[in-house]
Structure 1
Amino acid sequence: MLRTLTAACMHTALNLFALIALAELARQDRDHTR
């Protein structure tokens, strides 16, 4: 039970991290084109 919960939390955290990293890259991309 606890292992499944931890795995789910890690999975969610990784997804969030990926989203933030992609957003940051996109923002930097737009800054360069300006």
Structure 2
Amino acid sequence: MKLWVTRGDRWVPTFVLGPGKKCYLKITNASDRVV
């Protein structure tokens, strides 16, 4: 699992290793809002 941490209102791409070892991309911002 890889997490990119940034400051401010920059978008943070989070690579999550889900069930079945499938990697999907979750995009969140500094406010932890999921889109």
Query: Which structure exhibits the higher relative contact order, with contacts defined as CA atoms closer than 8 Å and separated by 6 or more residues?
Result: 2
**Which structure would you say has the larger Rg?**
1
TM > 0.5 between the two? no
TM-score, structure 1 length as denominator?
A: 0.25
- Structure ranking higher in helix proportion: 1
The structure where strand makes up a greater share of residues is: 2
